Amino acid sequence: MLIALVFSGIVLAAASTSAAGAALEGTETEIISEYGNQFYPVITEDYIVWQDEREDNFDIYMYDLESGRTEVPVFSGSRDEIDPAVSGTHLVVADDRRKNFDIYLYDLESGKETQITTDSKDQTEPAIWENTIVWTDRRNQHLDIYMYDLGSGTETRMTTNTDDQTQPDVGENIIVWTDTRNGNDDIYMYDISTGKESPVVTDTADQSKPAVDGDYIVWEDRRNGNLDIYMYEISTGREIAVSTHSSSQKDPAISEGRIVWTDSRGDGTNIYIYDISSETLKTVSTASAYQSNPDIDGNKIVWQDKRSGSTDIYLFTAEEPAGGEAAGGETPESESEAKESPLGSFIAATSVTMAYFIAAGRKKKN
């Protein structure tokens, strides 16, 4: 239940600090526990890919869930390969084999490798959705977002502001990124179908690490003093606080209406999940006190885990389908449906000194 006080047009939302939700039902599997550390896992369909330092530099490894074979190196040269991202059978990485970072594409089925960028400055932080690749690019002396269309073979500069734009992600028609043009980190978006750039959130505190899937953009947000998880619904322009616990929540990822993140409300950090449709919060795994950097695809969640001393990769396969059958968890910790992002409107009473309203629960998003 939400109680909001309205003072001369300003909406103040009450936030609870509820404890952990119920445990998500499913199966946890250790994917890799090799010598050295494995970082930043990503998952798509039956492929898990991560950044690996077992050879004293950063390489990219892959695990095929369908065949059940052990991990295999995908990029394993003497130079560093970092920042893996996947979509379908496509893997993109930043590779410094030419002594600067370029973006490379690798087909996980055919094994075909393609160099996407050739500029002498660094290109890093790639993201991919089907045939669209985006990345952070330094060729203009500051950091911009670029896009490459695999179908047409066309490269396009997406941002021209002279401040830095970083941490891009891409969905079906939407590119999102972290933007410093207002003097702090904000979230901006670009609609590929309309060619329109718009701010998602421009709060004076920092917002960073956006992720997009379908109708939703999620990010980590520092407006309450520590890192929280916020969400933006593209079709309605609503901004919603997903998790505002007094401890930190960071590293959000989203797939099919489910958001996962790293949460420090317990002993160390664990992985949490929120189902947008059923409005429930659950724990994915608390078996280790050092879990972070989750990714999600459908009912599969991966993360890096330090329970054995080094950082390894774990997988959780949920029994519950997304979208309505995750009952038994907690409802969201706070909500500010009355406050919308700069793309929407700010709904507040302007003719009264003080009023209150009570809203029981969230409206369905789907």
The rounded average pLDDT for each run of 10 residues, N- to C-terminus, in the chain (366 residues) is 30 36 92 88 96 94 88 91 98 97 96 97 98 98 97 97 98 98 98 97 98 98 98 98 97 98 94 96 91 97 94 94 49 44 35 32 34
Residue 18: CB atoms within 10 Å? 15
- Give me the residues paired with residue 146 across strands: 135, 157
> SS3 letters for 291-329?
EEEEEEECCEEEEEECCCCCCEEEEEEECCCCCCCCCCC
CA distances from 222 to 244, 247, 265 (A): 10, 11, 16
Identify the CA nearest to 187 among candidates 128, 131, 247, 234: 234
Q: Which residues contact 75 (CB under 8 A, 6 or more apart)?
A: 59, 60, 81, 93, 95, 104, 106
Q: What pLDDT does residue 36 have?
A: 85
H/E segment holding residue 41:
strand 38-44
What is the phi-psi region of residue 158: left when phi exceeds 0, alpha when psi lies from -120 to 50, beta otherwise? alpha
Residue 301 contacts residue 273 (beta carbons within 8 Å):
yes
Residue 91 contacts residue 49 (beta carbons within 8 Å):
yes
Residue given tokens 């290109």 in the structure block: 123
Structural tokens at position 193: 């179908």
User: Half-sphere exposure of 19 toward its Cβ, with a 13 Å CA cutoff?
Assistant: 3
Q: What pLDDT does residue 267 have?
A: 87
Q: What pLDDT does residue 200 have?
A: 98
Q: What pLDDT does residue 360 have?
A: 34
E strands within 111-215?
A: 113-115, 123-129, 132-137, 144-149, 154-157, 165-170, 174-179, 186-191, 196-201, 207-213
Torsion of CA 3, 338, 274, 212, to 10 degrees: -170
Q: What pLDDT does residue 277 have?
A: 95
Residue 93: CB atoms within 10 Å? 27
Burial annotation 56-66 (CB, 10 A radius, 16+ → b, else e): eebbbbbbebe
Structural tokens at position 190: 């670009």
What is the distance between the alpha carbons of residues 75 and 251, in angstroms, rounded to a whole number?
25
Identify the CA nearest to 151 among candidates 169, 174, 125, 133: 133
CA distances from 200 to 51, 209, 237 (A): 30, 13, 9
